[in-house]
């Protein structure tokens, strides 16, 4: 298992969400569920995916907290999927904050041929 080097919870959560959302079939499923509550048979018919694939992708979306599942009270074989609005707010907030244009900062050159002599001397002093 890989050692996790990131300690920032927002970075870790953002990476998890990006991984979940990077699969095209999951995005298609999520898009259909956004349109309204769906059962797995409707999703399979609409997207022309095998039942095991539908089940897998729904499970990943559910584990990420993006959707919720509710069994039919009369016949528990039927499962209805809906969007978790709180999770959507979290996704929007995480990525809006992370990708905010005002976070972009100019960077001082610390190496390379474009450094001027003063920058090189300053860098050498810091390294001593």
Q: How sure is the predictor about 11, in pLDDT bands with cuts at 50, 70 and 90? A: confident
For residue 1, pLDDT over 70 is answered with no
CA 7 – CA 24 distance, rounded (Å): 29
Average pLDDT, the chain: 86
Is the Cβ–Cβ distance between 48 and 80 less than 8 Å? no
User: Which residues make beta-bridge pairs with 126?
Assistant: none
Q: Are β-strands 38-39 and 67-71 bridged in parallel, bridged antiparallel, or unpaired?
A: unpaired
Cβ atoms of residues 109 and 115 within 8 Å: yes
Does residue 56 belong to any structural domain of this protein?
A: yes
- For the domain that residue 18 is a member of, what is the CATH number? 1.10.10.10
Task: Tell whether pTM > 0.85.
Answer: no
48 is a domain residue: yes
Q: Left if phi > 0, otherwise alpha if psi is -120 to 50, otherwise beta: which for 79?
A: beta
Q: Write b or e for each residue in 17-30: b if 16 or more Cβ atoms lie within 10 A of its Cβ, otherwise e.
A: beebbeeeebeebb
Q: Please, are residues 13 and 94 in contact by the beta-carbon 8 Å criterion?
A: yes
**Is residue 80 assigned to a domain?**
yes
Token pair recorded at residue 49: 């995916």
Domain membership flag for residue 60: yes
| pLDDT-derived band at 54, boundaries 50, 70, 90 | very high
Residue 119 lies in a domain: no
Residue 37 lies in a domain: yes
Which pLDDT score, from 0 to 100, does residue 95 have?
85
- The whole domain housing 82 covers 9-102
Region 68-93: mean pLDDT is 93
* Any domain includes 81: yes
Domain count, the chain: 1
């Amino acid at each position: 298992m890989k050692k996790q080097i990131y300690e920032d919870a927002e970075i870790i959560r953002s990476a998890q969400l990006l991984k979940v959302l990077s699969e095209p079939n999951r995005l298609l499923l999520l898009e259909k569920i956004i349109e309204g509550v769906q059962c797995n048979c409707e999703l399979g018919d609409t997207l022309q995916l095998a039942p095991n694939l539908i089940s897998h992708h729904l499970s990943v979306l559910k584990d990420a907290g993006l959707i919720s599942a509710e069994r039919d009270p009369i016949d528990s074989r039927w499962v209805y999927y809906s969007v978790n609005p709180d999770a959507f707010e979290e996704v929007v907030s995480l990525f809006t904050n992370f990708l905010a244009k005002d976070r972009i900062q100019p960077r001082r050159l610390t190496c390379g041929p474009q450094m001027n002599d003063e920058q090189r001397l300053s860098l050498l002093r810091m390294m001593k």
